[in-house]
Amino acid sequence: MAGKREPSDTPLNVARYKINRETPAADRPEAAEVETNEAGQAMMDARAQYVEISIQQAMRRDDFDNLPGTGKPIPGLNAPYDPDWWIRQKIEREQITGLGPPALTLRAEDAGLDARLDAVTVEKQVREILDDFNRRVIEARRQLRGGPPVVTALRDVGAEVLRWKERREAERIEREAARQRAADALAAMTWRERRRAKRER
């Protein structure tokens, strides 16, 4: 059975309130004691218990299932330490271009440079893009305004042009193979299946 509780006495409670309000917190006798609830349990223990119960209930409700990244390795765990990792991740996540120190914007541009080159159809434009990129990397390395160091490597224009041609050739071969597969599949169909397939296009 619970301990005997004091009867409620409004004037007594008012007097206690006034004394507590006028007395500094450090001078109160109960200030040095551990804060406890009515059951005598330490409030910190009660809070920890409440948090643990909430977590257990959420686990039973499957609130932690299908969270992003579940069962996947932590990205960048084995990468070398980068003091500006949070800025770089923000720029990559938000796809921000043209903002921030050159060291970071060039790093983000370097990551997407191959895709940008693949969108170009003329070799002369590929060379112009690479020359412009290399020029800006060299300028950023020479800058004297401070900021993070530029670690972006220069691109070898000749090698990059060869890689661009190889990617374009591989893409052309894949397109032709896909076209041939579609033609073979169409030839293997009956005339009714062909008619249905044309209607669905």
Per-residue tens of pLDDT for the chain, all 201 residues: 444 445 555 665 666 666 666 666 555 545 444 455 555 567 778 888 888 988 888 888 888 888 887 888 887 778 788 787 887 788 778 877 666 778 878 888 888 899 999 998 899 999 999 999 999 998 888 876 667 788 888 999 999 999 999 999 999 999 999 989 888 887 888 878 877 877 776
Q: Identify the pLDDT of residue 32.
A: 44
Per-residue tokens: 136:
């800006």
The interaxial angle of helices 102-111 and 85-94, nearest 10 deg, is 50
Q: CA-to-CA distance for 76 and 104, rounded, in angstroms? A: 17
What is the model's pLDDT at position 15?
62
Residue 80 class from Cβ within 10 Å (0-12 exposed, 13-18 middle, 19+ buried)? Answer: exposed
The span from the CA of 24 to the CA of 16, in Å, is 14
Residue with tokens 């890689």, as numbered in its chain: 163
pTM surpassing 0.75? no
What residues contact residue 28 under an 8 Å CB cut-off, 6+ apart? 20
| DSSP tag of 26 | G
